[in-house]
Chain A
Amino acid sequence: MTNNKRDFLQSLWDFFCSLKLTMSLLIGLALISIIGTIIPQGSLPPEYVQAISPAKLKLYKTLGFFDMYHSWWFILLLYLLTVNLVACSIKRLPHIWKTITNPVTIFNSALEKSLSGVTEFPHTGEPAVVKERVAAFLKIEFAEPVVTESGGDWHLFAQKTPWCRLAVYCVHLSVIIIFIGAIIGSVFGYKGFVNIMEGESVSKVMSRSNEEIDLGFSLRCEQFSVAHYASGAPKEFKSILTVLENGRPVPDYTNARVIVNDPLTYKGITFYQSSYGNAGNYFFTVSDLSGKNPVPLTIEGKSSVTLPDGSSLHVIEATRDVAEFAPGLSGPAAQVELHAANGKSESFVVYANHPELNIQHAQQHGGGPVIHYKGAQERMYTGLQVAKDPGVEVVWLGCLLMVIGIYAAFFMSHRRVWVRIQNGVVTIGGNASKNQAGFQLCLDRLASKLKTDLSGEEKP
């Protein structure tokens, strides 16, 4: 290998190990992420497309702004971050590993100089005897020491939670595990959607990328219902579902209740309550202002119907009893939207039991046709989110590791104490990987306790 090549590899390695790269990536990812929260993602609303210039639209599309978090350069940054944290870990881990598994047990003068706040006090005992006492003392007060003899002096070394130095690598590893879980999910899993009419069953769902996916079993919607609070706000959306294998209901999955926040899982595929609608027929009559010449009118589900005067009508929502929304009124009602031939549109409520309100509305709005609601033949369908994600367990494992790692990295510290026993002198020192000042106080207390301990036992 030539020198140049080695220099290049070395500088490439240094680049991936550098904290500057980490900082740039974290800040860069933060800034780029903002784009996707401001610019609409996925399928664009037509109003948005009209509002921006074609050049801008093309530019944003090329840069992947409309699918920011899956654009090649966002993914590239995530890969760079992964390489960066692996490289940093590889670079620093051997040294840390050595500190943990192969600690310095000899308290020599070089080590003593590197420590701050070393305490010394005289003793009168035989070093070999004092050593035993100090060892017993450390075992009770701190941790079991390693005792070494070197050049006639005794060296004791004790440590607490050395492994917490690994915590930060545990956090780095957890990020990688989460990424792996996400990749497993995107390769082997899918997200889809399906609408099922009451009484009907489906065996295929539509994925987000508009592909048909065969479930391998069928799912029947027995019933869908909405419950409301007294205020009219929705209380519960509930689907009663049955899983069918070869057309036969599966015992434990018959008439299963699915509500928001309580999904149904069968063979690794989970169904979540997501939306609903009515695909049944709505019945109306259209009359003139005096209420005469009624003409029946039927609207199918969400479709629009053109009235004789050229305007079109569709149903937004209907209820069997309007009393829960409008106290004092009763009976069925429908909220409809009317698009007049002149381009104007308005949304209003028409009633079954209150024809006078329907006439009043028509009079106030240009005397157009009077619309009376006659009720609906309800045919509800439930809209279910469908997900299969075999990577999710891996993601949770990563999250667990991250929480443990962050806790250990911030709130635990590797504490080390060295004691040297020479003829007539005991020297004690130590350090901590975090909160050195706090540890110094503990060490000072430990030293003074040891001093009284030794002098107390020598006297009697």
Chain B
Amino acid sequence: MTSSLLFNVTTFAYLISMLLFFAFLASRAKALGTAGMIAAYVGLLAQTVAIALRWKESYDMGVGHAPLSNLYESVVFFAWTIVLIYALLDIKYKYRVIGAFVMPFALLGMAWAQLGLNTGIEPLVPALQSNWLLYHVITCFLGYAAFAVACGISIMYLIKAAFETGGNGSSGGVIAMFPPIKVLDDLNYRAIMVGFPLLTLGIITGAAWANYAWGTYWSWDPKETWSLIVWFVYAAFLHARITKGWVGKRAAWLSIVGFAATIFCYLGVNLFLSGLHSYGGGK
């Protein structure tokens, strides 16, 4: 068994999971929601094994390093963290329908990685040969994933809010399956509450690494600057919410803007701007 086979299994499982969640939305049959969740868990398990296997394979090739060194590996890891955060959310709150709005992000990541990116295991360039790589990438991506989940929940919030103000107070069909509007608002906050400390840790570990490798903990490189922009947006979100009671639609929009900035920080900076993180770029 190879990691690349397992990554294909993962992608397929996430596809099935997403389709089952969509069918669950349309049919409101509880069994479909459970099946969707099971498919997500199968995918998560396969992906966990695949990441471990890829790690081992790199050692077999004599270039051993954690599978977090290029765009392909980071996109795969991002998809893994999204499903992981969603699984934790499911264990705690059991709102199956959220899967229909979160699994597409994970599937998109896996499909793009498997089809569009260079999947080869490459040796580490000198700049990445450090233990900081592990701490920095893991904290950043767990943070990004929490923001992705918050974004999915915010989209659900806006859809539900639009239907509820649209006249028929207790709308039937798909929308009725969504968790109550207050719960969505609270979950959005909770996901960001998890993501923000992780992003903070990610920025700090990045600064510590930069200081160790280059002698400057902060050099206003585009990646650093964008991570700070993301931090500002979510800091604004938290201040507005805690002290000003910004809840509901405004909070949902701010969460979506925050995730857009996150995605630009992750991908946009590598694809459109140049800087110190250039090795994360696509080939």
Chain A bound to chain B: yes
**A residues touching B (Cβ–Cβ < 8 Å)?**
19, 22-23, 26-27, 29-30, 33-34, 36-38, 41, 68-69, 182, 191, 229, 231, 233-237, 259-261, 263, 270, 272-274, 385-387, 389, 392, 395-396, 399, 402-403, 406-407, 410
| Shortest beta-carbon distance from A421 to chain B in Å | 36
- Pairwise interchain contact A399-B129, C-beta atoms closer than 8 A: no
Are the C-beta atoms of B273 and A38 separated by less than 8 Å? yes
Residue contacts A-B, CB under 8 angstroms, 21 given: A19-B243, A23-B236, A23-B244, A26-B232, A27-B233, A29-B232, A37-B222, A68-B220, A191-B216, A233-B122, A235-B126, A260-B127, A260-B213, A270-B215, A272-B214, A387-B216, A392-B211, A395-B217, A403-B201, A403-B204, A410-B197
Bound Cα distance A41, B127 (Å): 23
Tell me the chain B residues, 190-245 only, with Cβ under 8 Å from chain A: 193, 196-197, 200-201, 204, 207-208, 211-218, 220, 222, 225-226, 228-229, 232-233, 235-236, 239-240, 243-244
B118 on the interface (CB 8 Å rule)?
no
Q: Is the CB of A234 within 8 A of B228?
A: no
Residue from A27, A191, A402 within 8 A of B215 (CB atoms): A191
Report the nearest A residue to B192, measured CB to CB. Answer: A410
Interface pairs A-B: 4 shortest CB-CB: A387-B215, A260-B126, A30-B232, A37-B222
Interface residues on B, range: 35 or more
Q: Taking the complex as formed, is B278 at the interface, i.e. its CB lies under 8 A from any CB of chain A?
A: no
- 20 further contact pairs, Cβ within 8 A, besides A27-B236, A68-B220, A261-B127: A23-B236, A23-B239, A23-B240, A26-B233, A26-B236, A30-B236, A33-B232, A37-B273, A41-B220, A235-B123, A236-B126, A263-B212, A272-B214, A272-B215, A274-B214, A385-B214, A389-B215, A402-B200, A403-B200, A407-B197
Contacts of B218 in A (CB 8 A): 182
B233 & A30 in contact (Cβ 8 Å cutoff): yes
Contacting pair B125 A234 (CB below 8 A): yes
With a CB–CB cut-off of 8 A, which chain B residues contact A38?
A: 273
CB-based nearest A residue for B219 = A191
- Least Cβ–Cβ distance between A149 and chain B, in angstroms: 38
With CB as the reference atom, state the residue of chain B lying closest to A384: B215
Q: In whole angstroms, how far apart are the Cα atoms of A324 and B273 in the complex?
A: 32
Smallest Cβ-Cβ distance to A236: which chain B residue: B126
B108 within 8 A of A: no
Q: Is the CB of B200 within 8 A of A237?
A: no
C-alpha gap A356/B193 in the complex (Å): 67
Contact between B232 and A27, CB atoms less than 8 A apart: yes
User: Which chain A residues lie closer than 8 Å to B193 at the CB level?
Assistant: 410
Query: Do B215 and A406 touch (CB < 8 A)?
Result: no
Q: Is the CB of A261 within 8 A of B215?
A: no
Of the candidates A36, A235, A402, which one forms a contact with B220 in the assembled complex, judged by CB atoms under 8 Å apart?
Answer: A36
How close is B96's CB to chain A, nearest CB, in angstroms? 22
**Closest residue to A168 on the B side, CB-wise?**
B242
Q: Which residue of chain A has its CB nearest to the CB of B186?
A: A437
How far is B240's CA from A233's CA once the two chains are assembled, in angstroms?
Answer: 49
